[in-house]
Structure 1
Amino acid sequence: MIQLKRGRYRARFADSEADVIAAQTLRGRAFHGGGLDADDFDALCDHVLVEENRTGALVCCFRFLQLASGGEIGRSYSAQYYELSALESFAGPMVEMGRFCIDPDLHDPDVLRVAWGAMTSYVDDRGVELLFGCASFSGTDARTYYDAFAMLKARHLAPRRWLPRVKAPDVFRFAQRLRRKPDAKKAMLRMPPLLRTYLMMGGWVSDHAVVDSQMNTLHVFTGVEIAAIPPARKKLLRAVVG
């Protein structure tokens, strides 16, 4: 059970249909500029809401899909876009974090901190050994993110034993195509905040990005093996949980 309160914000599970619709509405604003963002996975997931304490306004949301082991990886949202058979041999519990979004009108780093505190609580409570999902870059023009993709190629590719293979019809194979040395400053400026956090926890990514025209994003499969998170980073995350 997530009941986390820090500073101006609190995190909790959605516990009603109205809560899920509120999350779908925020996702619609963040991903499509309005309307509802909903799919069949919503009924299978635990939804986390981050709200402002004073007003109760929803400022961030995301969802978790629990999997007993890699043998269930085909049930995941990510499996629609990536060939994930390499992860079928992963023995421990997994959770997919998806549809992460923050109110596009809000720019407060504490929201992300509380969200990751909620994620940490969820992972700890359930003994999760692998956290994964799709980390998205806004827009579908890969040229905008060449330095970021070059950085991913140079430092953050998945171990060969877990590496996702191509499944989607339209992909940018950055590990094959890019030969440039990344400009570290430009790379980090163009890296999505959620992906930066994954990488700081020792996360790794696929060697290609999926071009998702429906969502107007480029996304990479991202995994974090919980046992491999640096101790100092674990300490910071657990400090938020309290």
Structure 2
Amino acid sequence: MAASRSLETDFATAVLGRIGTLQVRLARSEAEIAAAQEVRYRVFYDELGARRSSLPSGRRDADRFDAACDHLLVFDTALAGPEHRRIVGTYRLLRQEKAFAAGGFYSDGEFEFGKLIARHPGQRFLELGRSCVLPEYRSKRTIELLWQGIWAYISHYRIGVMAGCASFHGTVPAAHAEALSYLAHYCRTSAEFDVRAVAERYRSMDLMPTEAINVRSAAMALPPLIKGYLRVGAKVGDGCVVDHEFDTVDVFVVMPVREIGQRYISYYGGETHRFAA
């Protein structure tokens, strides 16, 4: 038991990846979590126009799920000041057992995530959410670092399926008709891992017939996060949801680890054996 606790502590404090002056690891303190929430606020509220009515006081994007999550952080070690002020990107990670203890997943309000989990009692699920990077750091190497951290995390906790919401900007699905239709026709999950938007919020993604879709332009119109998910082998569930608070159209992404391309596992997970539990 003591050895298990030591391994857990080592993982929680380890640097999970480095590229140049950037490094990725989990948050180690309340101050770092608060700083990550400030980064989220700057991106979601100041930049993208999310509404502030349901937020606590202060310039932080925070909700009840934060306490149950692990927070993956990218730091620029070249910046001056205390370490928690060097955070330039973040991802929120919610493991299945933590979600159950907290009363569910964030995605449950939009998609029937719980039904998917119930169909796979032998799998361990991880919800990915609140992904954001400050504008000046939106580069390939920052995204690569976040993925390195995710690979280390799923290796350590033996995650079988990653899933979560991903968004288009704005609240009108028709404004993204070609891209959403492309997802509906070419990128749907298998029946085994299908997830449907909750009935009262369900909006169809199938807005154009297949023959009307220009595959190249549709793929180019996808948000970078969704492109990245699809690139490693992810698929999307049935239907989209309009989120008026965050001013987005959300789709649900499912990534069974066994279906992720081996070249991506080799590329991003080259040292994840260090973190195997």
TM-score, length basis structure 2: 0.80
The residue that corresponds to 1:77 in the other structure is 106
Residue 117 of structure 2 aligns with an amino acid whose one-letter code is: L
Residue 70 of structure 2 aligns with an amino acid whose one-letter code is: D
Distance in 1 (alpha carbons) for counterparts of 2:101 and 2:265: 27
The alpha-carbon deviation at position 155 of structure 1 amounts to: 1.8
Which stretch shifts more, 74-83 or 124-133?
A: 74-83
The residue that corresponds to 1:16 in the other structure is 29
Larger radius of gyration: 2
Q: Is the 8 A contact 1:26 1:103 kept in 2?
A: yes
Distance in 2 (alpha carbons) for counterparts of 1:73 and 1:237: 30
The alpha-carbon deviation at position 189 of structure 1 amounts to: 2.0
The alpha-carbon deviation at position 72 of structure 1 amounts to: 8.5
TM-score, length basis structure 1: 0.90
Superposition map of 1:159-198 within 5 A: 159-167=190-198, 169-175=200-206, 177-181=207-211, 182-198=213-229
Q: Is the 8 A contact 1:9 1:111 kept in 2?
A: yes
The alpha-carbon deviation at position 136 of structure 1 amounts to: 1.1
The residue that corresponds to 1:60 in the other structure is 89
Distance in 2 (alpha carbons) for counterparts of 1:193 and 1:241: 25
Which stretch shifts more, 208-217 or 61-70?
A: 61-70
- Structure 1: runs of 5+ lacking an equivalent: none
CA deviations 1:55-102 (Å, max 9, x no partner) are 152111011111149988971111111123133121211111111111
The residue that corresponds to 1:47 in the other structure is 71
Q: Is the 8 A contact 2:193 2:254 kept in 1?
A: no
The alpha-carbon deviation at position 7 of structure 1 amounts to: 1.9
SS of 2:253's equivalent in the other structure is strand
The alpha-carbon deviation at position 124 of structure 1 amounts to: 0.9
Distance in 2 (alpha carbons) for counterparts of 1:220 and 1:180: 19
Residue 83 of structure 1 aligns with an amino acid whose one-letter code is: E
Superposition map of 1:121-136 within 5 A: 121-136=152-167
Superposition map of 1:1-242 within 5 A: 1=11, 2-3=14-15, 4-33=17-46, 35-55=59-79, 57-68=86-97, 75-84=104-113, 85-90=115-120, 91-167=122-198, 169-175=200-206, 177-181=207-211, 182-239=213-270
SS of 1:136's equivalent in the other structure is strand
SS of 1:36's equivalent in the other structure is coil
CA-based RMSD: 2.4
The alpha-carbon deviation at position 18 of structure 1 amounts to: 0.9
CA deviations 1:130-170 (Å, max 9, x no partner) are 01110111112223322221221122111123322231644
Distance in 1 (alpha carbons) for counterparts of 2:201 and 2:264: 35
| C-alpha distance 86-216 of structure 1, shift in aligned 2 (>3 A) | same
How many residues in Structure 1 have an aligned counterpart in Structure 2? 241
Which stretch shifts more, 163-172 or 120-129?
A: 163-172
The alpha-carbon deviation at position 113 of structure 1 amounts to: 0.7
Distance in 2 (alpha carbons) for counterparts of 1:73 and 1:160: 28
